[in-house]
Amino acid sequence: MHDLGDSPSREFRRPRPIISPVPHAMNPILMDRPVVSPDGSRESVFLTPSSTTIEQKMPLITVTFAGVFLLGSFVSRRLGAPSPLVNLLTLGAFTLGSIPAFRSAWDTIRRYRLDIDTLMLLGAGLAAFVGSPFEGALLLFLFALSAALEEYSLKRTQAAIISLHNLVPTEAIVLDGEDQRRVTLRQVRVGDRVLVRPGDRVPLDGEVIEGESSVDEAAITGESLPVEKASGSAVFAGTANMQGRLVVRVSKLSADTTVARILKLVTEAKHKTARAQRLIDRIGPTYSVVVIFGSMAAGLGLHFLGGVAGREAAYRAIALLIVCSPCALAIATPVAYLSAIAAAARRGIVIKGGAYLETLAGVRAAVFDKTGTLTTGNVRLVRIRTHESINEDDALRAAAALETSSSHPLAGAVIAELKRRNLDAPQVSQLKSEAGHGISGTVAGAPVWIGRPRFARERVKENLRDSLAEQLDAQNSAGKAAAVLVMDGVPSLFEFEDVLRDTARDTVDRLRRNGLQRIEMFTGDNEGVASAIASQLALDGYRAELLPEEKLSEAESFRKEHGAIVMIGDGVNDAPTLATADVGIAIGSIGADVALEAADIVLMNDSIEGVAWLREHALRTTRIVRQNLALAIGVIIVLSGFALTGHIPLPLAVVGHEGSTVVVALNALRLLRHRD
């Protein structure tokens, strides 16, 4: 039996400093923190752990004592206490308040760079130098306090991702014959049988081989209703078993599970930042230098050219230095996009970076796949038209023999109809698949082929081609999908019907209301099916009978016509197009490795409404980012004017500067509530 005391603990190390214009408290979102995952391996995430050690609590302790000393200095001065006591309390507040900024500033100075911490230290030191030590201490205290509040804001945005990381248990119950062993996840191998008791969470991805139950997948997919599971059903790590006992055969190791890959993708999202954030990050160090020398020049100009007294000119220059520091500007974008990504994660939507939300808010054209996206993908075989020389059941059995190894939705419909008629598929030999065309083989000694109607003509006996053409014309006008089976040159026509999603029309309408000007559908189905679906959804256009490579080229053409585009597909067959589009959105892709790799945004549940929500979410995120940038820049401009004219005291300049930083962070947190 495994000793629970040996289970891996979660370890964190202090982040290494970075060269950035971002305040010290904001550094965790721009750097990696190694974390020990449930299987014991170290992985890099941008999560900030709960403060549990003295070292982690030290910034809060420091700012608290700095506040106590600052308050003591203020009260003592008001009460007329002796100057040595007032000076000692002020010095204590100044020293304690400078510690957080000094630690970060020293690391950047050693690299011959400047950041906001350096600006704050410089401003406080200059204030003390010109005889205003209390104002310098106040600046450092408020800077440290705003840093603590920003840290709190970050923890709020990271809560959804932290909860996702904590979903997976650290141990599994492995069945070895009749024996049960509790082991760590890294000791479990692919093919092992694990027991999932009622109330337990599934430890690893796998397939149910025994038992029946309902499983709550809401934490991963956002789906509110439990999903029924039985033998043959796929289950995913981190989902909760509701009531029944399940035995699961493991299909993926802990590092390869769906939840692990989601966590990794969301973690990597910080590297795919929006354009505004990249611009601020790029100009930040230069901006800091400009602020320092600009403030010095302003002070000298006020004194020598404006006739302002030396101490007053220095005082105004220090105020200008403080109000021009880009604290609020630096966090205006990253906190907003992290909050947006976290809010989406709670709905079971994986966004791989703020850049994709930014692009999604700006696109004006969209392309939908049909099968499995606008339709349910639950295709039914509704009719088989055979030549008089072929029995309908024989045609069905031959088709099933070829389709048994295919994952295409039409193949599933053929197999389902075979089972409904209680028939068995015969043996097939020389099986050959032609991507996008069809499947061929030999059944009962006769050559058999099934595939798209457009590729059937040359395989059919010449005297039967006109008859096949008439059948295809009738099927096409009826708006049904079709496949042609050719047995020894004799054709049979299989007609299929796909079901349109109930929410597809509402989704298209919501997208139009939110600014999409062109919405089209690309499909491999025939002209009649595509026309019928496009008409029902009032789409702006469609392109039918496309092979995978043709769909890709059509997407490129569509982009040239309409600019940046978003592509929405089921994430498997549409992987190349999803990867090529400016924003690729994969729907219903829980467990689909191809979708997780190819798409920029992945909807883990099978709900197309999420596409409309995403567009609205992207637009709202963009609005909040613009509000933050406008507020940050506006405060800098207004306070700079007051500072230069001497109409703002240094303490008020400090409060205005730090206050704008906190307001920007709180405004970004509103995105966490955007869930409807």
Per residue in 567-606, pLDDT (tens digit) is 998 866 677 788 888 999 988 766 666 666 778 898 888 8
The stretch 55-79 carries a mean pLDDT of 78
Q: Which helix (H) or strand (E) holds 154?
A: helix 133-165
As a whole number, mean pLDDT of residues 348-373 equals: 90
Q: What is the pLDDT of residue 617?
A: 95
pLDDT the model gives residue 66: 80
User: Higher pLDDT residue, 114 or 73?
Assistant: 73
Which stretches within 538-672 are classed as H helix? 548-562, 575-580, 593-598, 609-645, 650-669
What pLDDT does 258 receive? Answer: 76
Asked if pLDDT for residue 267 goes beyond 80, the answer is no
> What are the tokens at 529?
């099916």
Lowest mean pLDDT among 323-332, 349-358, 513-522: 323-332
**327: pLDDT confidence band, cut at 50, 70 and 90?**
confident
Residue that wins the pLDDT comparison between 299 and 148: 299
Confidence of residue 259 (pLDDT cuts 50, 70, 90): confident
- Residue entry with tokens 């029944």: 244
Of 94, 59, 98, 58, whose CA–CA distance to 73 is shortest? 94
Q: Would strands 240-241 and 213-216 be described as parallel, antiparallel, or unpaired?
A: antiparallel
Q: Select the more confidently predicted residue: 56 or 108.
A: 108
pLDDT, greater one: 443 or 284: 443
List the one residue out of 72, 70, 133, 65 whose CA is nearest residue 100.
65
Beta bridge partners of 196: 246
**Token pair listed for 7:** 């289970």
For 380-497, CATH number out of 3.40.1110.10, 3.20.20.110, 3.40.50.2300, 3.90.25.10 equals 3.40.1110.10
413 phi, psi to nearest 5 deg = -65, -40
Residue 664 phi, psi dihedral angles, 5° rounding: -60, -45
Nearest to 447 by CA among 390, 393, 485, 400: 485
Q: Calculate mean pLDDT across residues 447-454.
A: 88
| Chosen CATH of 171-256 out of 3.40.50.720, 3.30.2230.10, 2.70.150.10, 1.20.1530.20 | 2.70.150.10
**Beta carbons of 572 and 596 less than 8 angstroms apart:** no
CB atoms closer than 10 angstroms to residue 448: 24
Asked if residue 19 has pLDDT above 60, the reply is no
pLDDT, mean over the chain: 79
pLDDT value of position 17: 29
The H-assigned helical ranges of 305-422 are: 310-323, 327-331, 334-345, 354-362, 392-403, 409-420
Could you report the per-residue pLDDT of 156-189, keeping only the tens digit for each? 555 555 666 677 788 999 998 878 999 998 899 9
Q: 365-369 and 565-569 as β-strands: parallel, antiparallel, unpaired?
A: parallel
**Beta carbons of 381 and 423 less than 8 angstroms apart:** no
pLDDT of 155 above 70: no
> Is it the case that residue 265 has pLDDT exceeding 80?
no
* CATH code for the part of the protein at 349-375+503-604: 3.40.50.1000
pTM of structure? 0.70
Q: What is the pLDDT of residue 153?
A: 58
pLDDT, mean of residues 383-394: 87
**Farthest-apart Cα atoms in the chain, separation:** 115
Q: Residue range 473-481: average pLDDT?
A: 68
Which listed residue (369, 498, 525, 600) is catalytic? 369
The residue ranges of every structural domain in the chain are 171-256, 349-375+503-604, 380-497
pLDDT at site 675: 54
Clarify whether 369 is annotated catalytic. yes
Selection from 322, 393, 334, 353 nearest residue 126 by Cα: 322
What pLDDT, on a 0 to 100 scale, did the predictor assign at position 38?
41
Residue 121 has pLDDT above 90, yes or no: no
> From CA 383, how far away is CA 495, in angstroms rounded?
5
pLDDT at 49 > cutoff 60: no
Buried b (16+ CB within 10 A) or exposed e, 177-212: eeeebebbbbebeeebbbbbeeebbbbbbbebeebe
Q: Exposed, middle or buried by CB within 10 Å (0-12, 13-18, 19+), for 377? A: middle
Task: For residue 44, report the phi and psi dihedrals to the nearest 5 degrees.
Answer: -100, 120
